[in-house]
């Protein structure tokens, strides 16, 4: 996966020992990445490595990584984008086939007479994911515009606070940003949508679009299996269920289930985390259970481990989320 090689290039030599440890959490090493031997690493694995690197080693790694990503790095999806007839079509393609990219968030492209925008639709991804979405879409849009374009005509609303690495934001974004907004959106002049993508090849676009459509169709059937795994885990007493036990309930072999999950660009471990965090939010906002009791219900050995996992997902501590909910009533 090209993403891993690009990310390694962003890691200073003195930080690579720590980065190698983070890679080890998904069964990889720096040597594996350099040799191109990353096996069946999927988008969820890469996101885990990227976000843990930002959490533990380099606070602005998402911005640094985004600078290195070219649309061609997105594989067949990238080639469909860069061969679209104009920026409007390119953004529509990016939205339609978002599941084929590691930054697979749902977003809405809208326009009126003078203004257009890209607005995040996903509900409550972590702050790191929101920053990742913002950087990737800003980078995509700016890379397709002519070099002479005045990027300061863009305006960004970010639904999170200004991070400590403010200088990195000033270097990366060439436009104004309003933090602590109620939504995440990139506004830009509507006239940009009709800007022709330089070098676009219509025949190549048709080929790439057809392949993307086929890949998404194949993944749809696989995603149904992942949804079934979610439902099984949400049944009483099943939170700690093993992959082998889930496979038995689905009348599948463990190998077949593992392959289906892999094809859906996630991992069994990530599904467990997603279910835990979904339940955690529900317990915090809809019950009076203590945070300690919630952590034990979700099979965390220590409340501190639960707190760290929760903050990685939602960007705030469990206590902060509960207090925010109470204050807003």
- What is the tens place of the pLDDT at every residue in 86-144? 999 999 899 888 878 877 777 888 888 899 999 987 654 578 888 999 999 999 999 99
Mean pLDDT of the residues in the chain: 86
| List of domains in the chain | 1-58 (no CATH), 75-200 (no CATH), 209-328 (1.10.10.60)
Section 267-291 average pLDDT: 87
Using CB atoms within 10 Å of the CB of residue 236, give its burial: 0 to 12 exposed, 13 to 18 middle, 19+ buried: exposed
pTM: 0.69
CB-based contacts of 145, cutoff 8 Å, min separation 6: 87, 151, 192, 195
- Percent of the chain predicted with pLDDT > 70: 94
59-63, 179-183, 218-222, 272-276: which has the minimum mean pLDDT?
218-222
Select the highest-mean-pLDDT range: 36-40, 138-142, 225-229. 138-142
Q: What is the pLDDT of residues 12-37, one digit of tens each?
A: 999 999 999 999 888 888 998 888 77
Would you state the structure tokens that stand for residue 306, as one six-digit string? 């639960």
Q: What is the pLDDT of residues 242-268, one digit of tens each?
A: 999 988 887 778 888 888 787 776 788
**What is the structure's pLDDT at 26?**
81
pLDDT range class, residue 216, cuts 50, 70, 90: confident
Look at residue 327 and tell me whether its pLDDT is greater than 80.
no
Q: Looking up tokens 């990227």, which residue turns up?
A: 50
DSSP assignment of 231-294 equals HHHTSTT-TT--HHHHHHHTT--HHHHHHHHHHTT--HHHHHHHHHHHHHHHHHHH----HHHH
Separation CA 221–CA 263 (nearest Å):
10
Separation CA 279–CA 86 (nearest Å):
42
Would you state the structure tokens that stand for residue 318, as one six-digit string? 């469990």
**What is the structure's pLDDT at 262?**
77
Look at residues 131, 2, 1, 120 and name the one whose alpha carbon lies nearest to residue 62. 131
**What is the structure's pLDDT at 260?**
78
């Amino acid at each position: 996966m090209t993403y891993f090689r690009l990310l390694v290039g962003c890691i200073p030599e003195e930080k690579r020992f720590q980065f190698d440890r983070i890679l080890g959490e998904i069964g990889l090493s720096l040597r594996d990445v350099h040799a191109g031997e990353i096996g069946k690493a999927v988008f969820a694995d890469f996101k885990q490595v990227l976000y843990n690197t930002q959490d533990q080693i380099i606070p602005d790694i998402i911005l640094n990584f985004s600078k290195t990503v070219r649309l061609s790095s997105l594989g067949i999806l990238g080639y469909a984008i860069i061969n679209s007839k104009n920026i409007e079509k390119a953004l529509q393609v990016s939205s339609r086939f978002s599941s084929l990219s590691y930054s697979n968030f749902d977003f809405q492209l809208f326009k009126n007479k003078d203004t257009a925008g890209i607005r995040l639709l996903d509900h409550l991804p972590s702050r790191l994911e929101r920053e990742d979405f913002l950087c990737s879409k800003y980078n995509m849009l700016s890379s397709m515009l002519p070099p002479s374009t005045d990027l300061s005509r863009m305006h960004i609303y970010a639904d999170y606070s200004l991070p400590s690495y403010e200088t990195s934001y000033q270097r990366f974004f060439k436009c104004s940003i309003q933090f602590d907004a109620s939504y995440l959106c990139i506004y830009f002049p509507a006239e940009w949508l009709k800007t022709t993508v330089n070098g676009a090849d219509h025949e190549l676009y048709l080929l790439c679009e057809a392949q993307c459509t086929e890949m998404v169709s194949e993944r749809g059937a696989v995603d149904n299996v992942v949804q079934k795994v979610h439902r099984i885990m949400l049944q009483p007493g099943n939170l700690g269920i093993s992959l082998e036990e889930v496979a038995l309930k689905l009348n599948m072999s463990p190998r077949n289930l593992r392959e289906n999950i892999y094809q859906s660009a996630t991992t069994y471990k990530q599904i467990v985390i997603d279910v835990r965090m979904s339940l955690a939010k529900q317990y915090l906002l809809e019950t009076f259970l203590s945070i300690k009791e919630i952590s034990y219900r979700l099979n965390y050995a220590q409340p501190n481990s639960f707190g760290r996992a929760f903050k990685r997902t939602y960007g705030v501590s469990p206590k902060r989320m509960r207090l925010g909910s109470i204050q807003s009533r």
